[in-house]
Copies of this chain bind each other. A is one copy, B any other.
Amino acid sequence: MSKNASTQEIETPGSEAELDRLVTQIIGRVADKWTMYLIDILHEEGPSRFGELGRHCEGISQKMLTQTLRAMEREGLVHREVYPVVPPKVVYSLTDLGSGLGAAFCGVWKWAAENRTRIEAARRDYSRRHGE
């Protein structure tokens, strides 16, 4: 019983390598552009309707919006509430899990904001040194 210093694991059959693989897999599904955008939007705007999300999420197609929201629902990041009215109304909101991820992502947003000039400088530098 050398490991498991974490928060709430009771039954953990796999090896730590396997755990690693699992966590990596989760990151792989979640570290996606649209997911990050949507979590951010839901974080700022609060519970939002499908159309609102589409409008706030610059450049996303309605197909990707649906698709991404479904995936997020599957991972337990968002809750989908359907109001049986006409015209239809569907409101998406972050679950606790989603909020947690949003909070975690916050660091990445801050990093991007704080370092954007350096990133752009690096890019200019690169294209100068390479093929222009």
Contact = CB atoms under 8 A, between A and B. Distances in A.
A119 B75 contact: yes
Given A110-B104, A114-B7, A27 B33 contact: yes
Interface string A81-122: 000000000000001010011011111111111111111011
Interface of A: 6-9, 19, 21-24, 26-28, 30-33, 36-37, 58, 73-76, 95, 97, 100-101, 103-119, 121-123, 125-127
Given A31-B31, A107-B108, 18 more contacts: A6-B114, A23-B112, A26-B112, A26-B116, A26-B119, A27-B36, A27-B37, A31-B33, A31-B108, A73-B126, A75-B123, A97-B119, A100-B115, A103-B111, A104-B111, A105-B108, A106-B107, A107-B107
